Amino acid sequence: MFTAFVTLLFSFIIGACQSSCPSGWRQSIDDPNVCYLIIATTKKNWTEAQAFCNNILPNAHLTSISTAFESVELNAFTINTDNISSCDQMWIGASDFNVSGQFVWSDGTPFEYSIWQTGKPDLHYQCISSSWKRSRSWKTTNCSIENCFICEMSMGNLCSTSLPLTDTPSTVTLAQTSAIHSPAATSTAAPTTMIDTTIPSTTASPPTSVLSTSTAPDPCNSYPCKNGGTCNPSGNSYNCSCTSPFFGLNCEIVGCDPANGHITIVPNNTVANFSSTQFPLQISGLNCFWQIRAPPSYQLNITIESVIFTGSRGIFEILDSSNKNATLYSTSFTDQAAVSVKSSKNTVAIYFYTAYPGISGAFWIQYAAVYDDPCAGYNCGHGTCVANGYKPECHCASCYSGPLCDNGKPDPCANNPCGTYGTCVYDTATCSNPHCNCAPGYTGPFCSKIPPVHNYV
């Protein structure tokens, strides 16, 4: 009985270092060690919201956002939160209480990423809030205003406090969510949620192994492999061969395919397809973020051929990565009418979310890297247009200047210094160094008449 108790005790301790978020929290796909809690049923000022998060768990705090993917992922969680329509803005963990013009995250994360609304930040206010709608943009807000808010915590810190293992008896009190009966209890005894006992300093005997001579049933008879996986017997056990995008012991986990954060490099002048796995198969449980990247100076033409959703809380978005992740296309509904969009530069991000209960979906797009000559139709006047990345740039002729080469430089020969009997010329490469070409019989810098030669006898 003591051995069973110790096993139960250690199971509880190990369970504290959990691999999934506490009930009600949402687990990040970008960093599975991070959990988010969207608070949409109560509003607090910034300081109260920070304290509220910290009171839930000691390592919880108002969320920090340091990448575009975190911003998009949090937006998906927020949009799919019950009662979110009652919120206007969401407090996040950035502030400038020192009024220094430098914002800091409450968890110490470097403030290197931002997605400000147009005209923001307004440095009259010291706290930052985020729109929960698809713009995801931030603004500075009076810290005393009451808003909904987002808490963040790291599961790694849940394991930082563990029960000590000693050779002396110790009393341990544990809270359990499942029913645990004392050794003397019967099957009808009421469950208890607390254990208060003393672990004696004895050494338990190792368990005795019992070998069975009976033939074990085929472990694949129970069809343990989910989502189309194939079961392969292996002695008394089995392993599953999973079909993409599923993995796990029983193919029960769905993953992004290609892997989350994957960057697809596009060759020049190539049309290619990108779709959810096994399109048009609708898949649930996905929270995926990918990028498509064309060569430098190229842009991406994208045609959204088909988006399919069951349920109304899925998200499919194409974001212009080079333009503060501006939304090029976004839908939460089935859309099978081809729609074309174009990136401002050479990279776009694709976000696909079907992780809300009851949601499944699929998508298919086509894309191509295209080069649009920025000099096409661009008039440089007295100069030549040269592409500088995505912008036209005028290289002016020697005697012209200005952005469009339409400002003439002063003519070095404008004052006609060579008079009647000479022609003024200058170095056309530099529009400088004027000098006179004189007519016969004239010489000197200004073409003066050659004096007559007198013969004296």
Each residue of 366-399: pLDDT tens digit?
A: 999 999 888 988 999 989 999 888 889 999 988 8
Most confident of 63-67, 268-272, 453-457: 63-67
Residue 207: the pLDDT is 46
Element (H, E) at 68: helix 68-79
Residue 320: the pLDDT is 92
When pLDDT is cut at 50, 70 and 90, the band that residue 40 belongs to is very high
For domain 263-369, give its CATH number from 3.30.540.10, 2.30.110.10, 2.40.30.10, 2.60.120.290. Answer: 2.60.120.290
Residue 31 neighbours by CB distance under 10 Å: 14
When pLDDT is cut at 50, 70 and 90, the band that residue 188 belongs to is very low
Q: Positive or negative CA dihedral for 225, 231, 232, 234?
A: positive
Separation of alpha carbons 371 and 270, rounded Å:
12
Task: Report whether 311 contacts 360 (CB < 8 A).
Answer: yes
Distances 395 to 2, 141, 155, 384, 400 between C-alpha atoms, Å: 88, 47, 58, 5, 9
Q: Enumerate the domain spans of the chain.
A: 20-156, 222-254, 263-369, 373-409, 411-457
Determine the average pLDDT of the residues in 141-168.
Answer: 71
Percent of all residues in the chain with a pLDDT value above 70, rounded to a whole number: 81
Q: Is the pLDDT of residue 446 over 80?
A: yes
When pLDDT is cut at 50, 70 and 90, the band that residue 455 belongs to is low
Q: Which residue has the higher pLDDT, 199 or 446?
A: 446
| Residue 60 exposure: Cα atoms within 13 Å on the Cβ side | 20
Q: Long-range contacts made by residues 446-455, C-beta under 8 angstroms, separation at least 24? A: 446/417, 446/418, 446/419, 446/422, 447/418, 447/419, 447/420, 447/421, 447/422, 449/421
Instruction: Name the CATH superfamily for 373-409.
Output: Laminin (2.10.25.10)
Instruction: Given CATH 3.10.100.10, say whether it is the number of domain 20-156.
Output: yes
Q: Is the pLDDT of residue 165 over 50?
A: no
Q: Is the pLDDT of residue 147 over 70?
A: yes
Paired residues of 327 in beta bridges: 319
Asked if the peptide bond before residue 280 counts as cis, ω within 30 degrees of 0, the response is yes
Mean pLDDT of the chain: 80
Determine the average pLDDT of the residues in 56-62.
Answer: 90
Q: Is the pLDDT of residue 92 over 90?
A: yes
Cβ neighbours of residue 427 closer than 8 Å, sequence gap 6 or more:
433
Which parts of 357-408 fold into alpha helices (H)? none
pLDDT digit string (tens) for 262-303? 889 988 777 899 999 889 889 998 989 999 999 988 999 999
Separation of alpha carbons 91 and 37, rounded Å:
12
Q: Which residue has the higher pLDDT, 248 or 14?
A: 248
Q: Is the pLDDT of residue 5 over 80?
A: no
DSSP for 221-264, written as a single string: GG----TTPEEEEETTEEEEEPPTTEESTTS-EE--SSPTT-EE
β-pair type (360-370, 271-275): antiparallel
Separation of alpha carbons 146 and 43, rounded Å:
5
Residue 454: the pLDDT is 61
Separation of alpha carbons 19 and 435, rounded Å:
85
Separation of alpha carbons 126 and 96, rounded Å:
5
Q: Which CATH architecture has domain 411-457?
A: Ribbon (2.10)
Task: Report whether 62 contacts 109 (CB < 8 A).
Answer: no
Residue 358: the pLDDT is 87
Residue 81: the pLDDT is 85
Write the burial class of residue 437 (CB in 10 Å: 0-12 exposed, 13-18 middle, 19+ buried). exposed
Percent of all residues in the chain with a pLDDT value above 90, rounded to a whole number: 37
Residue 257: the pLDDT is 86
Q: Is the pLDDT of residue 346 over 70?
A: yes
Lowest mean pLDDT among 6-15, 117-126, 132-141: 6-15
Determine the average pLDDT of the residues in 170-188.
Answer: 30
Task: Report whether 257 contacts 278 (CB < 8 A).
Answer: no
Separation of alpha carbons 147 and 49, rounded Å:
8
Residue 267: the pLDDT is 83
Q: Is the pLDDT of residue 69 over 90?
A: no
When pLDDT is cut at 50, 70 and 90, the band that residue 53 belongs to is very high
Domains 222-254 and 373-409 share a fold: yes
User: Could you tell me the maximum CA-CA distance found in the chain, to the nearest angstrom?
Assistant: 156
Residue 263 neighbours by CB distance under 10 Å: 11
Q: Which CATH architecture has domain 222-254?
A: Ribbon (2.10)
Task: Report whether 271 contacts 292 (CB < 8 A).
Answer: no
